[in-house]
Amino acid sequence: MKRQLELKVNGEDYSLTVEPHRTLLEMIRNDLDLTGTKLGCGGGECGACTVILDGKAVKSCLMLALDARGKEIWTIEGLSRVGDLHPLQRAFVERGAIQCGFCTPGMIMASKALLDENPHPSEQEIKDALAGNLCRCTGYVKILEAVLSMAKPD
Amino acid sequence: MKRFELLEPNSLDEAFQLLSEYGDEARVYAGGTALVKLMKKRLVHPSYLVNIKGLKGLHYIREDEEGLKIGALATLREIETSPLVRQRLKVVGEMVHTIGSVQIRNVGTLAGNLCFADPASDPAPILIALGANLKIASSEGERILPVEKFFTDFYETALSRYEILEEIQIPFLPKDSGAVYLKHTMRVAFDLAVVGAAVRLDVNAKDDVCMSSKIVLGGVASTPVRVKKAEELLKGKVINDTLITKVAMAASTEVDPIQDVRASAEYRREMIEVFVERGLQKALERAKGGVL
């Protein structure tokens, strides 16, 4: 039986109905048509589905869509403003921290959640925050450099 | 995922009622990081999920005279970053930091980790070593069960279908006691333990004599294992390097390690020796240095 779901995504209010067995990721991609968030392993291991839910990075493939009732979600689509990349996105581009791009939305959302909570993370703190995100093009060094460049000195 | 009905009780009593009504067809849903994964793989396909996420009064980390009290809905990340946990039982925060990834810890709960009962669970060995108890509730009332008695087999616990794990109670370490959890993984990050070794020592600070000890291993059998013969070797003895080596060797021969995709039985046995040795050294250091 479909249930009512009200939530805020990238600053906009949404009201829709979903079935209880739909994951948050399925709802974001299929119902909201926000396909920037990726389905990778589907088992919480690769981090490609990372979104920010009430300020915290979560794996949207392991949550029910109904878990997001009344919550605020940010996805990769919410970062750029009228064609202007978010500074974190620009840092990824400028440092070559992207290759095939599949892991990038998850990497950026996990990094953004970290930077929002802790604007001056150490290299180790960045590694901890990104431990749940896999990149199979093996671009970890450049990803780390991109996030470090955003970690403003104290 | 197969279709299911999401049931949303407004109180624990309502939750118990739903569990009594639907029995084996229902599962309790809290963090869900393990359960949703199993449901997606169709290893578990409940017809009903009893969602306790919204229940008031289960989401806390607090202390009383005896120890920490952690409610069923406290997330792993909240425990990891809790100033209270850091000040009063640092070893618990350290252990939680080794679980999954930040995204998983933001959602998953300590209670859920225990109920899932993965043999490689990180909290289980150290909670046993610390002498933690579980408050388990049902419509019949409450019972207190030591964590040590909770795990019965691979992914099986003493919890019945009608019960909910409500609170984890972890006693503080007395003065002159030290505890540590060491986890051996194949990758640095985000991996399950090949061997998880929890060591707790209660010493006499004046002469390093071991009053009592607990050595608990995770990831090596169907449930966490206490190596009691190895513990016995420590009792009443001065803890020095020779004794530590002897105890570590005894620990490795006391268990019959499992063999799986992560490691062979032989390798696990070797690693038990290494990690029990390191654990004993670190726990002694902590007992003497007053680290909680």
Give residue-wise pLDDT tens across range B263-276.
999 999 999 999 99
State residue B290's pLDDT score. 74
Domain harbouring A58, CATH code: 3.10.20.30
Burial class of residue B181 (count of CB atoms within 10 Å of its CB; 0-12, 13-18, 19+): buried
**What mean pLDDT is reported for chain A?**
95
Residue A99 placed within a domain: yes
Residue A32 placed within a domain: yes
Tokens of A145: 């450099």
Tell whether the torsion through CA atoms of B225, B152, B167 and B7 is positive or negative: positive
> Which residues are paired to B168 by β-bridges?
B70, B134
Asked whether residue A69 falls in the same domain as residue A10, the answer is: yes
State residue B184's pLDDT score. 95
Give residue-wise pLDDT tens across range B100-156.
999 999 999 999 999 999 999 999 999 999 999 999 999 999 999 999 999 999 999
In this prediction, residues A91-95 reach a mean pLDDT of 95
Give residue-wise pLDDT tens across range A28-77.
999 999 999 999 999 999 999 999 999 999 999 999 999 999 999 999 99
Answer whether B15's CB lies under 8 Å from B50's CB: yes
Per-residue pLDDT for A103 more than 80? yes
Instruction: Decide: helix, strand or coil at residue B185.
Output: coil
Answer whether B68's CB lies under 8 Å from B86's CB: no
Fold that domain B5-51 belongs to in CATH:
3.30.43
Alpha carbons A147 and A86: distance in angstroms, whole number: 13
Burial class of residue A82 (count of CB atoms within 10 Å of its CB; 0-12, 13-18, 19+): exposed
In this prediction, residues B220-226 reach a mean pLDDT of 97
Q: B236 to chain A nearest CA, in Å? A: 41
Q: Does B46 touch chain A (CB under 8 A)?
A: no
Asked whether residue A66 falls in the same domain as residue A91, the answer is: no
Tell me the pLDDT band of B6, cut-offs 50, 70 and 90.
Answer: very high
Asked whether residue A98 falls in the same domain as residue A121, the answer is: yes
Q: Residue B36: closest CA among chain A residues belongs to which residue?
A: A62
Alpha carbons B91 and B199: distance in angstroms, whole number: 11
Tell me the pLDDT band of A139, cut-offs 50, 70 and 90.
Answer: confident
Asked whether residue A115 falls in the same domain as residue A72, the answer is: no
Q: Residue A126: closest CA among chain B residues belongs to which residue?
A: B102
State residue B189's pLDDT score. 77
Alpha carbons B42 and B228: distance in angstroms, whole number: 38
Domain harbouring A97, CATH code: 1.10.150.120
Asked whether residue A109 falls in the same domain as residue A65, the answer is: no
Instruction: Decide: helix, strand or coil at residue A61.
Output: helix
CA atoms within 13 A on the CB side of A11: 6
Beta strands in B127-207 (DSSP E): 133-138, 141-146, 151-153, 156-157, 164-171, 177-184, 195-204
In this prediction, residues A138-151 reach a mean pLDDT of 92
Kindly state the percentage of chain A with pLDDT values over 70: 99
In this prediction, residues B29-57 reach a mean pLDDT of 95
Residue among A57, A9, A44 at smallest CA distance from B106: A57
Residue A82 placed within a domain: no
Residue among A73, A105, A54, A59 at smallest CA distance from A9: A73
In this prediction, residues A117-140 reach a mean pLDDT of 94
Q: B93 to chain A nearest CA, in Å? A: 14
Alpha carbons B266 and B256: distance in angstroms, whole number: 9
In this prediction, residues B62-81 reach a mean pLDDT of 98
Nearest to B6 among A20, A44, A57 (CB): A20
Q: Compute, in degrees rounded to 10, the torsion defined by CA atoms B114, B117, B122, B125.
A: 90
Domain ranges of chain B: 5-51, 61-171, 177-289
Residue among B244, B235, B199 at smallest CA distance from B217: B199
B236: left (phi over 0), alpha (psi -120 to 50) or beta: left
Contacts of A67 (CB under 8 A, 6+ apart): A24, B32, B53
Tell me the pLDDT band of A124, cut-offs 50, 70 and 90.
Answer: very high
Tell me the pLDDT band of A153, cut-offs 50, 70 and 90.
Answer: low
Q: Which range (A150-154, B39-43, B255-259, B287-291) has the least confidence?
A: A150-154
For chain A, give the longest Cα–Cα distance. 52
Residue A68 placed within a domain: yes
Alpha carbons B46 and B52: distance in angstroms, whole number: 15
> In chain A, which among 9-68 make CB contacts under 8 A with chain B?
19-23, 42-45, 47, 50, 56-59, 61-64, 66-67
**What mean pLDDT is reported for chain B?**
96
CB contact under 8 A, A21 and B4: yes
Residue among B110, B112, B115 at smallest CA distance from B96: B110
Range of the domain at A42: 3-77
Asked whether residue A54 falls in the same domain as residue A96, the answer is: no
Print burial letters for A8-40: b (CB count within 10 Å at least 16), e (below 16). Answer: ebbeeeeeeebbbbbbbbbbbbeebebebbbeb
Asked whether residue A73 falls in the same domain as residue A15, the answer is: yes
Correct CATH for B61-171 of 3.90.1150.10, 3.40.640.10, 3.40.50.2300, 3.30.465.10: 3.30.465.10
Instruction: Decide: helix, strand or coil at residue B54.
Output: coil
Correct CATH for B177-289 of 2.60.130.10, 3.30.390.50, 3.30.390.10, 3.40.50.300: 3.30.390.50
In this prediction, residues B58-84 reach a mean pLDDT of 98
Asked whether residue A57 falls in the same domain as residue A92, the answer is: no
CB contact under 8 A, A132 and B37: no
- Residue that is last in its domain, among A25, A47, A77: A77
Answer whether B212's CB lies under 8 Å from B199's CB: no
Q: How many domains, in total, are found in chain A?
A: 2
Tokens of B128: 């046993």
Asked whether residue A97 falls in the same domain as residue A134, the answer is: yes
Give residue-wise pLDDT tens across range B157-215.
999 999 999 999 999 999 999 999 999 998 877 789 999 999 999 999 889 999 999 99
Asked whether residue A64 falls in the same domain as residue A11, the answer is: yes
pTM (two decimals): 0.96
Asked whether residue A72 falls in the same domain as residue A10, the answer is: yes
Residue among B264, B282, B50 at smallest CA distance from B177: B282
Q: Which range (A80-84, A91-95, B145-149, B231-235) has the least confidence?
A: A80-84
Alpha carbons B20 and B39: distance in angstroms, whole number: 22
Answer whether B76's CB lies under 8 Å from B181's CB: no
Q: A13 to chain B nearest CA, in Å? A: 22
Asked whether residue A131 falls in the same domain as residue A104, the answer is: yes
Per-residue pLDDT for A154 more than 70? no
